């Protein structure tokens, strides 16, 4: 599994940006945005396909393509430099201010052979889903939880003992193990879960029901999503546009 650490300058930039968000000045941090996307490597460079389907590239190669892998999921902080009118591939040129790799994982399946120790390690601590959207075969989940400074585990679980809702939707639950961490402040994160194993032969889409355990010991979010199979891994299926996030990044998850 991969650890997700949001680098310190990103947090500082976000703090500065939030403080400036209501300023009427259109310069500086008011033009900085935070969003998610997928890296596409080319022969000598790279571009990023955002989750709302825009192609971002660099006018100057300030950040080297050697920092990335093809298909890497990114949370990145950027400023638009202008429309890419000289390119048939790109929509905008950006200055990439800061970035970090998004945690990517497969679905975790509980089966008859899954022992109690493994189930306990997945956890059943409260976690709040803020938003969900698809990017190709990834279900992206934006979430919040209480924590302090310990490593937390986040997984999307399909339980074979309770595989579907009464309406036939595939039941998926976002589960959280806080490892006994103190509830001192709200942390924030994004994870991308590969749900391609849910594809059904002869079908073009499948309905899934996503939920999480809230802080009042009851299920929340409780949302039906339609997963349409994508032939291209970076094809967006949502209107998750770039936005100025108001929450602080999480310290550490995996």
Which pLDDT value is given to residue 30? 66
| 252 confidence band (pLDDT: 50, 70, 90) | low
The CA R_g of the chain, rounded to the nearest whole Å, is: 19
**Does 240 fall in a domain?**
no
> Which of these three, 101, 136, 158, is where a domain ends?
101
**More reliable by pLDDT, 18 or 69:** 69
- Among residues 78, 100, 99, 70, the alpha carbon closest in space to that of 2 is found at 100
- 219 and 149 share one domain: yes
CATH number, residue 151: 2.60.40.2370
Give me the mean pLDDT over the 15-24 stretch: 40
Average pLDDT for 236-253:
46
Does the pLDDT at position 136 exceed 90? no
Same domain for 70 and 167, yes or no, is no
Q: Is residue 77 one of the residues assigned to a domain? A: yes
pTM: 0.78
pLDDT in tens, 109-125: 999 999 999 999 999 99
Kindly state whether residue 193 falls inside one of the protein's structural domains. Answer: yes
At residue 254, the pLDDT reads 75
92 pLDDT more than 50: yes
Query: Quick check: is 251 in a domain?
Result: no
The answer on pLDDT for 161 being more than 70 is yes
Residue whose tokens read 């924590």: 147
Boundaries of domain holding 84: 8-101
- Whether 248 is in a domain gets the answer no
Q: Total structural domains in the chain?
A: 2
114 and 217 within one domain = yes
Residues 6+ apart with CB under 8 A from 91: 54, 55, 56, 83, 84
**Phi and psi at residue 202, to the nearest 5°:** 85, -5
Instruction: Please indicate, yes or no, whether residues 80 and 137 belong to a single structural domain of this protein.
Output: no
Domain assignment present for 1: no
What average pLDDT score do residues 8-19 get?
36
Over residues 242-249, the mean pLDDT reads: 45
Residue 83's pLDDT is: 96
Mind listing the pLDDT tens digit for each residue in 176-199? 999 999 999 999 889 999 999 999
Q: Strand locations in the chain, DSSP E?
A: 32-41, 46-50, 55-57, 73-83, 92-101, 103-106, 108-110, 128-135, 138-147, 153-159, 170-177, 185-194, 205-213, 219-228
Q: Which among 209, 176, 212 has a CA at the least distance from the CA of 195?
A: 209
Q: Is residue 86 part of a domain?
A: yes
CATH of the domain at 14: 2.40.50.500
95 and 118 inside one domain: no
Distance CA 165, CA 156 (A): 16
**Contact assessment for residue 170 and residue 113, using Cβ atoms and an 8 Å cutoff:** no
Averaged pLDDT, 61-85: 94
146 with 221, same domain: the answer is yes
3-state secondary structure (DSSP) of residue 183: coil
CB 122 within 8 A of CB 115: no
pLDDT band at 233 (very low <50, low <70, confident <90, very high): very low
The answer on 153 and 81 residing in a single domain is no
Considering the domain architecture, whether residues 97 and 199 belong to the same structural domain is answered as no
pLDDT of residue 49: 95
Distance CA 234, CA 229 (A): 12
Residue 221 is assigned to a structural domain of this protein: yes
Structure tokens given for 138: 């990834």
- Beta-carbon contacts of 148 under 8 Å, excluding residues fewer than 6 positions away, are 181, 182, 183, 184, 185
Instruction: Examine the domain organization and report whether 113 and 222 are in the same domain.
Output: yes
pLDDT of residue 32: 84
- Does 95 share its domain with 185? no
Is there a single domain that holds both residue 108 and residue 222?
A: yes
Mean pLDDT, rounded, of the chain = 83
């Amino acid at each position: 599994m991969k650890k997700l650490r949001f680098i310190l300058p990103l947090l500082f930039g976000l703090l500065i940006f939030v403080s400036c968000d209501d300023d009427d000045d259109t310069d500086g941090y008011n033009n900085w945005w935070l969003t998610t996307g997928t890296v596409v490597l080319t022969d000598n460079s790279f571009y990023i396909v955002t989750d709302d389907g825009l192609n971002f590239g660099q006018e100057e190669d300030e950040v080297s393509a050697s920092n990335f892998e093809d298909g890497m999921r990114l949370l990145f902080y950027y400023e638009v430099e202008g429309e890419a009118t000289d390119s048939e591939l790109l929509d905008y040129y950006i200055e990439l201010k800061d970035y970090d790799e998004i945690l990517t994982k497969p679905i975790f399946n509980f089966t008859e052979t899954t022992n109690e120790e493994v189930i306990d390690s997945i956890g059943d601590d409260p976690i709040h889903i803020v938003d969900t959207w698809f990017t190709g075969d990834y279900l992206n989940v934006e979430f919040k939880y209480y924590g302090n400074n310990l490593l937390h585990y986040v997984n999307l679980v399909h339980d074979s003992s309770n595989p579907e809702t009464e309406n036939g939707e595939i039941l998926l639950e976002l589960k959280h193990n806080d490892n006994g961490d103190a509830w001192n402040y709200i942390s924030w994160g994004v994870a991308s879960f590969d749900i391609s194993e849910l594809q059904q032969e002869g079908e073009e889409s499948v309905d899934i029901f996503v939920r999480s355990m809230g802080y009042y010991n009851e299920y929340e979010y409780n949302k039906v999503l339609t997963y349409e199979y994508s032939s291209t891994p970076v094809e967006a299926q949502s209107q998750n546009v770039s936005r100025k996030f108001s929450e602080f990044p999480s310290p550490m998850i995996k």
